Amino acid sequence: MYIVPRLDLMIAYSCNLSCVGCISLSDLPRSGIAPTNDIFSWIDNWSKIINPKILSVFGGEPCIHPDLIKICKEIQSKWPLSTIRLITNGYLLDNFDVNDWYTINNLEIQVSVHRKDHEKIINQKIKNILACEKKWKVSLHGGKNEHKQISWTNNKLTIYKSIFKDFVVPYKDNIVPWNSRPEDAHKICGSPSTPILYKGKLYKCPPVANIIDITNKTFCNYNGVEYTDDVNQFINRIGKPEPVCGFCPDHTQAVIIDHSNIKNVKTKQKIFN
């Protein structure tokens, strides 16, 4: 069994927002969710091989998935010691019964605030969940150059609210590679040591998995690892640059998107107060 610090699990390809430069390429016209039975079989297969300390339920927007709670419970049963971190933009949290969040052990909800002008709406969604319990410890995190976070925690649940500033677009125009020096791209990578379980295979990071899937092309002969493959080499490369990292830009090439400018974050759904 390989113990890894983090693993992302992609359960939805589409998103209700479109953030320019998204590492899951969900700003492009993508649709659909992963079928629940497929997700269960990926979890079953990989839980015999790899044990993440933190398993992030990832998308697109994971709250689009109607079986999200069932999926979290399946993760909990197959990886009972892992922290489950739901990463969401928060708009759809009330698609689910508020009490359900308290029935999942070791759950953290990380709410990314993408639009300053919608922060009040997102705050209300968080408040609805907090209202079920009384005693919360509130903490502030994040230095000058890091993204800012506030967290609420008690013995049943932790909620983080995160505010981002800059996004680096993980590809060149029309989704072609930058052909940068892998070590240089890796230095500015936003996800340098978090592999992703995507359509049943493990990939080095979210952009690599999504780009290979969308373009149907590979780069430097990179491909995802099946659970029947020898995963040892894959595990040894976590957190290290490798040729496929040359798809992303180095710091001289990087296109940096100011995420606090609302023109870079469009809503694909009507937002209600």
**Among ligand SAM, ligand SF4, none, partner that 91 touches (CB below 5 to 8 angstroms by kind):** none
Query: How many other C-beta atoms can be found within 10 angstroms of the C-beta atom of residue 257?
Result: 20
The two tokens of residue 11 are 């359960």
- Helix, coil or strand: residue 90: coil
Tell whether residue 205 is a contact of ligand SF4 (CB under 6 A).
Answer: no
Q: Kindly state the smallest distance separating residue 91's Cβ from ligand SF4, in Å.
A: 9
Kindly tell me which of 17 and 254 has the beta carbon lying closer to ligand SF4.
Answer: 17
Kindly tell me which of 18 and 215 has the beta carbon lying closer to ligand SF4.
Answer: 18
CA atoms within 13 A on the CB side of 243: 6
Q: Kindly state the smallest distance separating residue 105's Cβ from ligand SF4, in Å.
A: 25
7, 10, 11, 17: which one binds ligand SF4 (CB under 6 A): 17
7, 9, 22, 55: which one binds ligand SAM (CB under 6 A): 22
- CA-to-CA distance for 148 and 157, rounded, in angstroms? 20
Length, in residues, of the chain: 273
* Identity of residue 248: C
Tokens 């040729």 belong to which residue? 243
Asked if 92 and 45 touch (Cβ cutoff 8 Å), the reply is no
Phi–psi pair at 13, nearest 5 degrees: -95, -30
4, 11, 34, 87: which one binds ligand SAM (CB under 6 A): 87
- CA-to-CA distance for 232 and 271, rounded, in angstroms? 45
Tell whether residue 210 is a contact of ligand SF4 (CB under 6 A).
Answer: no
**Among ligand SAM, ligand SF4, none, partner that 27 touches (CB below 5 to 8 angstroms by kind):** ligand SF4
Helix (H) or strand (E) holding 171: none
The crossing angle, in degrees rounded to 10, of helices 68-78 and 36-46 is: 10
Tell whether residue 180 is a contact of ligand SF4 (CB under 6 A).
Answer: no
Q: Kindly state the smallest distance separating residue 26's Cβ from ligand SF4, in Å.
A: 4
Asked if 185 and 207 touch (Cβ cutoff 8 Å), the reply is no
26, 47, 110, 158: which one binds ligand SF4 (CB under 6 A): 26
Q: Kindly state the smallest distance separating residue 268's Cβ from ligand SAM, in Å.
A: 12
**Binding track over 54-93 against ligand SF4, x by CB under 6 A:** -----xxx---------------------------x----
**Among ligand SF4, ligand SAM, none, partner that 164 touches (CB below 5 to 8 angstroms by kind):** ligand SAM
Helix (H) or strand (E) holding 225: none
- Binding residues for ligand SAM, per CB under 6 A? 15, 21-24, 58-59, 61, 87-89, 112, 164, 167-168, 190
